[in-house]
Amino acid sequence: MPKTAMRKCPSCTEWFYPDRYNAYQQTYCTKPRCQAASRQASREKRSAKNPDHFRGTWNVERVQQWCREHPGYWRRGRRCSDTSLWRRSRKKGDGRFVNSYAYRGRSAAG
């Protein structure tokens, strides 16, 4: 089966070979500019999927506002304004996904 087919980068419109282990999710080429575009696009996709969740600065403000109103909730070693907390938990989830499912499942299916 073909492991890596060439793809066209939607940002710079050049053809490229996606990374073998990353092919299922790599839509953009490896140029820094296109990687930035890729991150931006996935952010937009995510916020479209979860309109009530990650909405950039609007969400940060909302969380901080919520924290001010519920100071007790965050007392266990967490700081209210520490919005990196949200990023961290999401990153953890991605790692688990890649390790357990994506590497084997998708590449085996072709």
Q: Which residues bind Zn ion (CB under 5 A)?
A: 9, 11-12, 29, 31, 34
26 Cβ contact partners less than 8 Å away, ≥ 6 residues apart: 7, 18, 19
Query: Which CB atom, from 10 or from 56, has the smaller least distance to Zn ion?
Result: 10
Instruction: Give me the least distance between CB of 42 and Zn ion, in Å please.
Output: 15
Query: Which CB atom, from 33 or from 79, has the smaller least distance to Zn ion?
Result: 33
8 Cβ contact partners less than 8 Å away, ≥ 6 residues apart: 14, 15, 16
Q: Tell me the residue type at 69.
A: E
Instruction: Give me the least distance between CB of 56 and Zn ion, in Å please.
Output: 24
* Rounded CA separation 50/98 (Å): 21
Instruction: Give me the least distance between CB of 33 and Zn ion, in Å please.
Output: 7
| Cβ atoms 54, 60 nearer than 8 A | no
Query: Which CB atom, from 31 or from 55, has the smaller least distance to Zn ion?
Result: 31
Instruction: Give me the least distance between CB of 22 and Zn ion, in Å please.
Output: 14
**DSSP designation for 74:** G
Query: Which CB atom, from 27 or from 47, has the smaller least distance to Zn ion?
Result: 27
